[in-house]
Amino acid sequence: MSAVSATEPLLAPFEGGHRVALMRGGDELFPAMVSAIEAARTEVWLAAYIFNDDPSGRRVVQALRDAAERGVQVRLIVDGFGSNGRIAVLRRQLQGSQVGFEVFRSLERWWAWSHPSQLRRMHQKLCAVDGHLAFVGGINVVDDRFDVQHGWTEEPRLDFAVQVQGQVAAEVQRLIHALWTRAHVGRGWREEVALLAQSPEPVQRVVQMIRDMRANAPQMPRPVGERRRRLRDWLRGEAPDGPQEAAGFARVAGAPARVALVVRDNVTHRRAIERAYVEAIGQARERIDIACSYFYPGRAFRRALRRAAARGVRIRLLMQGKIDYRLAGLAARVLYDEMLARGVRIYEYTPAFLHAKVAVVDGQWATVGSSNIDPLSLLLNLEANVVVLDEAFAASLSAQLEQAFAASQEVTAPPVRPGLRGWLMRGFVAWVANVYLRAAGITGRY
């Protein structure tokens, strides 16, 4: 694909004054989310790639039903592929409630599978309550000890989310609102066409329908002018009102956490998450830790890692040791020789499945979200990460990663050896990725 754009805007610029808390797995996330839903006064918005029918999922469903019964506006959207096979059960669980429920690009009808756009999924995991509290991360509404491919496990998967209070929570709510409206309008267009055909005044109905859609659609902020400059400075590690400090991503001790919601979509924010990573890696001076379940980055990302390693930055990658999808595991491993040759240290997490998508740079810049570092997340799916500029939060995430690294096995030699066999395997993975992207309507180099 083309190089990462230097001018592409993110969904929102960074904002200060946030309270953030790291949560490990559903064991920590779901009780906090349910508690927030139980305390909701006006509205609850929830978006999930997978919403499973298990004890954790049923607790969330009950909290949503109870909130709607109290008069809270509740809206839930799930992805048609990720939750495929579970949607009928979820509809039954919500039956008789006032919970608004939508499916993003449903696959319930057989002909839907043939459309190339179905390869682009809503992979976000978001929840917003009353516009001031939100949860963002990589955790689906699935019990920590249940894997949709392999069933129940003894150890919980490694995954993270962030609870955030502040302006970004309102941005999360508007984002989910936009997703829900998009799915709702997409589902109802046939009914609208039928009503138009029966109407004696079709032109007026068309005008009114457009007005209604515009009135209900949230206005997504776009950083321009001064706000764009502030966002650029923040990505580069510069203070809002002063020059960049020698330590890299330094900030004033004790200042409120600065947070940005970074979104990847297929319209105006196509490379935003990749760009945020590349900018952070490019500014790194001491260390980079990345934990990612699916790792097959493009040229710009790999080049940034190579250059950071050449500067003497210590780089560690935490990858899956227990593979859930064989092709995804192969894709990561065919890059091991390149990474190891540059001095990048690679670890495979073996105690359980790894589903995390997090990173820490220089002990101060951190990101947690839904985006993997592969073509699906960086070029196709709808994704959402939060980027946090805060020493205390970064230290909390680093402590969790240190535990994970200690429980992992370091890779000292590539499992796919360099040479003809290695290049053939790498070529095969690249060919599969290219075919998939072209089928989804993406062209160019990656």
67 and 44 in contact (C-beta within 8 Å)? yes
Print the domain residue range for 257.
226-439
pLDDT at 355: 94
pLDDT at 375: 85
- Distance from CA of residue 140 to its chain's centroid? 11
DSSP character string of 238-279: --TTSPPPTTSS---TTPPEEEEEEEE-SSS-TTHHHHHHHH
pLDDT at 419: 64
Looking at the structure, tell me whether residues 306 and 375 fall in a common domain: yes
- Distance from CA of residue 245 to its chain's centroid? 30
Q: Is residue 115 part of a domain?
A: yes
Tally Cβ neighbours within 10 Å of residue 323. 17
Domain stops at, among 171, 187, 203: 187
pLDDT at 55: 94
Looking at the structure, tell me whether residues 237 and 182 fall in a common domain: no
User: Which of 357, 346, 349, 206 has its CA nearest to residue 294?
Assistant: 357
pLDDT at 117: 59
Q: How many domains does the chain have?
A: 2
Q: Which residues are CB-neighbours of 291 under 8 A, at least 6 positions away? A: 158, 317, 318, 349, 354, 356, 357, 358, 359, 401, 404
Looking at the structure, tell me whether residues 124 and 245 fall in a common domain: no
Amino acid present at 252:
V
Tokens 């780089």: give the residue.
Answer: 315
Q: Which residues are CB-neighbours of 103 under 8 A, at least 6 positions away? A: 77, 78, 79, 80, 83, 87, 183, 187
Q: Is residue 196 part of a domain?
A: no
Q: Is residue 273 part of a domain?
A: yes
User: Which of 146, 148, 139 has its CA nearest to residue 81?
Assistant: 148
Specify which residues 263 forms β-bridges with. Answer: 384
Ranges of the chain with pLDDT below 50: 1-12, 188-232, 234-255
pLDDT at 328: 65
Looking at the structure, tell me whether residues 339 and 234 fall in a common domain: yes
Q: Is residue 206 part of a domain?
A: no
Distances (CA, A) of 265 to 385, 420, 435, 439: 12, 37, 20, 17
Query: What are the pLDDT digits (tens) for 300-358?
Result: 999 999 999 999 999 999 999 887 766 666 766 778 888 999 999 999 999 999 999 99
Q: Which residues are CB-neighbours of 27 under 8 A, at least 6 positions away? A: 144, 156
Q: Is residue 194 part of a domain?
A: no
pLDDT at 425: 65
Looking at the structure, tell me whether residues 183 and 260 fall in a common domain: no
Residues 328 and 66: their CA atoms lie apart, in Å, by 39
Residues 299 and 306: their CA atoms lie apart, in Å, by 10
Q: Is residue 375 part of a domain?
A: yes
Check which CATH number belongs to the domain holding 372 and give it.
3.30.870.10
User: Which of 249, 251, 260 has its CA nearest to residue 223?
Assistant: 260
Q: Which residues are CB-neighbours of 164 under 8 A, at least 6 positions away? A: 18, 19, 20, 21, 133, 134, 135, 136, 172, 259, 386
Looking at the structure, tell me whether residues 230 and 182 fall in a common domain: no
Looking at the structure, tell me whether residues 232 and 183 fall in a common domain: no
161 and 144 in contact (C-beta within 8 Å)? no
Q: Is residue 212 part of a domain?
A: no
Looking at the structure, tell me whether residues 80 and 160 fall in a common domain: yes
Q: Which residues are CB-neighbours of 211 under 8 A, at least 6 positions away? A: none
Looking at the structure, tell me whether residues 149 and 251 fall in a common domain: no
Looking at the structure, tell me whether residues 150 and 24 fall in a common domain: yes
Looking at the structure, tell me whether residues 181 and 232 fall in a common domain: no
Looking at the structure, tell me whether residues 152 and 81 fall in a common domain: yes
Q: Is residue 282 part of a domain?
A: yes
Residue 177 DSSP one-character state: H
